[in-house]
Amino acid sequence: MSDTPTGTHPGATTGHSGPEPGEPPRALYVYALLPDPGEALPDTVTGIDGRPLRLVGDGPGGPVALVHATAPAPYQGPDEDVRRWIVEHDRAVDAAWQLTGAVLPMTFNVLVRPEEGRSAEQRLLSWLAERRDELTARLDELAGHAELQVEITLDREAAAVSNERARSLMADMAESSPGVRRLLAKRLEMARREASEQLADTLYADARRRLAAVSEDLQDRRRAVRDPGETDVLSVSLLVRQDGIETVGRVLAEIQDEQPAVRIRFLGPWPPYSFADLGHGPGGAEEAPPGRAVPGLRT
Amino acid sequence: MPDRAPAAPAVPAVPSLQPTRDPRVTLDDLLEVVLNKGAVLHLDLIIAVADIPLIGVNVRAAIAGMETMLEYGMLRQWDEATRAWAERSGSRGLELRDGERLITRMFGGHRLTGEVYSGWRPGSVHLTDRRLVVLRREPREVLWEAELAELESAALETERAVGGEDRTRLRLRLRDGGEALLSAAEPERLHRELLEQTPGAKALAAADGGGGGTAGPAGKDGHEGHLWYHEPRRGGAMWRGGRGRLDAGGLSWKSPVDARPALVLAPGDLLGVRLEERDNPAGSPYTLVLDTPGGEVVLAADALPDWTGPLHRMAAGGTGQEDGESPERRRDDGGPHR
């Protein structure tokens, strides 16, 4: 993340060794936007570095921001600290999500700064007021929805079990000298890779279609395969209604059942991080087609 | 491809998988999603370091994604603000002059014809409302550039590529007598958009008569190019832009943001092809509907005839007559339009 030697933040209450120690907390670190819950979060929930959390909103019933006050400087430090901060960030977002069932989670390190005689809070409030209708609509859309992550990979050895070339190579290896065996092992690995890639293409389109049919939305995630013996088939984030999680699990169980070489990781439910773009500038949104044209292919 | 209704069977044949939130298993995924995803407040509000809004990985990923989308011609559907943002932030892209607007960009190259060396130099082709530029990113070099005002004519021509297949190229002539040959991922689209920007330039038919040729990398009876796919979701389908490819192996469609093709249709799975009047994001009044064993597949394209001919032939087992020019005019009662 950064080469700063310590992981403290200038606004932290301990160990002032950040860039400008003791700076007054003039900025607001934003965790999420949520509908006005009409009550505070329980005191047991704290933010990054145990900071007390506040809800900031421009009027009853409108969207509010979950924040803590801090110095106008980014959180940076050793990876270990960043990891801990992100877990704490997520915990705060999750608490808000449990309370209201709808959140627009922010990414890490979104800090509202003061400017030209206006405090960070004033600026945030007027932005919330300005975008009130749009944010309310977006939160309504996300209400009752969770994000799930699905990773499907193929065990290359298992995927090539019925592959002619792989089988004949294995038979040859059994009766070869160690030197030749090493050569054949390389060829076997290639044959297994090719067989897995072909199978992965077929599985991808099929699994994606079946998961899309039970999700409100889905997005590919780029992910390195963790296991060198596996081929990546599909890595997606799904936006699913809370009552639809079971159905996704059933589709995955069927996919597993149909193809023994498949390995599935199924994570969540999480607040909908991957579907929280605010529709301007960056946010990982894929494209903004002109409305959802005509609903419904027959699925 | 059997179609599965999402309805739950009374007795599930296989138990349902349960998602896990156990931090010991999911920590890396959580880090990745919080850093790369999540929303960002308006850039004017938030802390920036050296004028770059502090949204690190997120913004980098978004820019990378947008560069890809520009190259695929997907930003045509975006609102002006988003487009302007994407155009400004592609720091590795073309530096725009004041008031200059990027129209499109795609993978492509410039044919260098020298006394010592001749060859294709790959990069990306940028068309703005003022210039046509072929740019290489690494190491950064403008391979070729011309002001649109200087353009005399633009023609598509077919060239037999090294591998033996026919490729469509763009031949440009300048008022000062200069000439250039460009390659592009979608030469037809580049040609069309270039002429839209340059009304003064002549659209010459190519010397070989293949001016509108669709002989792309997919061979004689195939086609490859930008295609919209109406991808199903639980609550209704969504239009997504991507690249379609039609060849002897069937039809495939892939979005630049997906890992693999989301649509793979073998020739035997294509039972019928028809055109219907439905809303779509392409510039055509007709939407392309394919009948498959798994139900309808709905597509849209700017240049429909490029797709309908080969698709009809594929549906007829490769022997049918092409009748893609006479769409069945069927009213679409598919529900509320936007």
More confident call, A137 vs B167: A137
Residues listed for chain A = 299
Count CB-CB contacts under 10 A for residue B323: 13
Instruction: With H, G, I as helix, E, B as strand and everything else as coil, classify residue A75.
Output: coil
Distance from CA of A188 to the nearest CA of B (A): 24
* Residue A271 structure tokens: 């607040």
- Mean pLDDT (whole number) for B195-207: 73
Assess whether pLDDT exceeds 70 at residue B216. Answer: no
Which residues of chain B have a CB within 8 Å of the CB of A269?
19, 21
Lowest mean pLDDT among A62-71, B159-168, B245-254, B266-275: B159-168
The continuous run of DSSP H or E covering B88 comes out as helix B80-89
Assess whether pLDDT exceeds 60 at residue B7. Answer: no
Which residues of chain B have a CB within 8 Å of the CB of A127?
41-42, 45
Q: How far apart are CA B180 and CA B153, in angstroms?
A: 11
Average confidence score pLDDT of chain A: 84
Position B180: which residue type? A
Lowest mean pLDDT among A19-33, A284-298, B58-72, B110-124: A284-298
Report the percent of chain B where pLDDT is more than 70. Answer: 66
Task: For residue B318, name the pLDDT band (cuts at 50, 70, 90).
Answer: low
Query: What strand order describes the sheet that includes B166-174?
Result: B141-147, B131-136, B118-128, B102-113, B179-184, B166-174, B151-160, B202-204
pLDDT of residue B209: 36
Nearest to A295 among B46, B255, B335 (CB): B335
Residue in chain A closest to B299 (alpha carbons) equals: A297
Assess whether pLDDT exceeds 80 at residue B334. Answer: no
Nearest to B260 among A110, A200, A294 (CB): A200
Position A278: which residue type? L
pLDDT of residue B330: 32
Task: For residue B55, name the pLDDT band (cuts at 50, 70, 90).
Answer: very low
The answer to whether the Cβ–Cβ distance between B1 and A202 falls below 8 Å is: no
Residue in chain B closest to A128 (alpha carbons) equals: B41
B147, B150, B156, B160: CA torsion to nearest 10 = -80
Lowest mean pLDDT among A72-76, B124-128, B130-134: A72-76
User: For the residues of B248-262, what is the DSSP string, one character each?
Assistant: TTEEEEE-TTSSS-S
- Reference A31, options A109, A141, A148; nearest CA is A109
For B251-305, the pLDDT digits (tens) are 999 887 788 899 999 999 999 999 999 988 887 889 999 999 989 999 999 888 8
The answer to whether the Cβ–Cβ distance between B39 and A206 falls below 8 Å is: no
Residue in chain A closest to B46 (alpha carbons) equals: A112
Report how many Cβ contacts below 8 Å link chain A to chain B: 303
- Reference A68, options A99, A14, A22, A25; nearest CA is A25
pLDDT of residue B131: 93
**B280 HSE (CA, 13 A, CB side):** 26
CA angle B256, B262, B268 (to 5 degrees): 130
State whether the Cα torsion A203-A205-A206-A207 is positive or negative. positive
* Residue B75 structure tokens: 């930003």
Q: Which long-range contacts (CB under 8 A, 24 or more apart) does B252-258 make?
A: B253/B227, B253/B229, B253/B299, B255/A220, B255/A286, B255/B229, B256/B68, B256/B69, B256/B71, B256/B72, B256/B74, B257/A219, B257/A220, B257/A286, B257/B65, B257/B68, B257/B69, B258/A208, B258/A220
Q: How far is CA B179 from the centre of its chain?
A: 27
Nearest to B59 among A218, A282, A287 (CB): A282
The answer to whether the Cβ–Cβ distance between A205 and B263 falls below 8 Å is: yes
The answer to whether the Cβ–Cβ distance between B335 and A244 falls below 8 Å is: no
Position A248: which residue type? V
Assess whether pLDDT exceeds 50 at residue B329. Answer: no
Assess whether pLDDT exceeds 80 at residue A268. Answer: yes
pLDDT of residue B142: 82
Highest-confidence segment of A218-222, B80-84, B262-266: B262-266
Which residues of chain A have a CB within 8 Å of the CB of B72?
none
Which residues of chain A have a CB within 8 Å of the CB of B56?
1, 108-109
Lowest mean pLDDT among A20-29, A80-89, B161-170, B177-186: B161-170
Q: How far apart are CA A105 and CA A273, in angstroms?
A: 6
Highest-confidence segment of A176-185, B51-60, B218-227: A176-185
CA angle B107, B112, B118 (to 5 degrees): 120
Which residues of chain B have a CB within 8 Å of the CB of A247?
6, 8, 16
Which residues of chain B have a CB within 8 Å of the CB of A290?
77, 239, 281, 338
Which residues of chain A have a CB within 8 Å of the CB of B242?
none
Residue to substitute from B1, B11, B54, B76, interface A, most A β-carbons within 10 A? B54
- Mean pLDDT (whole number) for A148-171: 94
The answer to whether the Cβ–Cβ distance between B41 and A112 falls below 8 Å is: yes
The answer to whether the Cβ–Cβ distance between B49 and A283 falls below 8 Å is: no
Which residues of chain B have a CB within 8 Å of the CB of A113?
45-47
Position A289: which residue type? P
Average confidence score pLDDT of chain B: 73
Distance from CA of B330 to the nearest CA of A (A): 15
Torsion angles phi and psi, residue A137, rounded to 5 = -65, -45
The answer to whether the Cβ–Cβ distance between A254 and B13 falls below 8 Å is: yes
Nearest to A295 among B4, B237, B262 (CB): B237
Task: For residue A296, name the pLDDT band (cuts at 50, 70, 90).
Answer: very low
For A269-284, the pLDDT digits (tens) are 999 999 987 754 333 3
A192 with A156: CB under 8 angstroms? Answer: yes
Highest-confidence segment of A59-73, B6-20, B75-89: A59-73
pLDDT of residue A9: 59
Q: Residue A239: beta bridge partners?
A: A147, A217
The answer to whether the Cβ–Cβ distance between B79 and A288 falls below 8 Å is: yes
Lowest mean pLDDT among A172-181, B182-191, B293-302: B182-191
Q: What is the DSSP letter of B76?
A: G
User: For the residues of B38-59, what is the DSSP string, one character each?
Assistant: SB---TTTB-EETTEES-HHHH
Q: How far is CA A210 from CA A218, A282, B2, B231, B271, in A?
A: 11, 29, 10, 11, 21
pLDDT of residue B337: 33
Nearest to A90 among B30, B236, B279 (CB): B30
Assess whether pLDDT exceeds 60 at residue B4. Answer: no
Nearest to B264 among A202, A277, A283 (CB): A202
Distance from CA of B251 to the nearest CA of A (A): 12
Q: How far apart are CA B244 and CA B252, in angstroms?
A: 6
Which residues of chain B have a CB within 8 Å of the CB of A196?
none
Question: Residue B116: exposed, middle, or buried by beta-carbon count in 10 A (0-12, 13-18, 19+)?
Answer: exposed
The answer to whether the Cβ–Cβ distance between B4 and A252 falls below 8 Å is: no
- Mean pLDDT (whole number) for A149-156: 95
Q: How far apart are CA B86 and CA B65, in angstroms?
A: 10
- Reference B302, options B108, B58, B73, B30; nearest CA is B73
Residue in chain A closest to B6 (alpha carbons) equals: A214
The continuous run of DSSP H or E covering B243 comes out as strand B238-247
pLDDT of residue B201: 78
- Mean pLDDT (whole number) for A89-106: 95
Which residues of chain A have a CB within 8 Å of the CB of B54?
74, 109-111
Assess whether pLDDT exceeds 90 at residue A193. Answer: no
Distance from CA of A44 to the nearest CA of B (A): 20
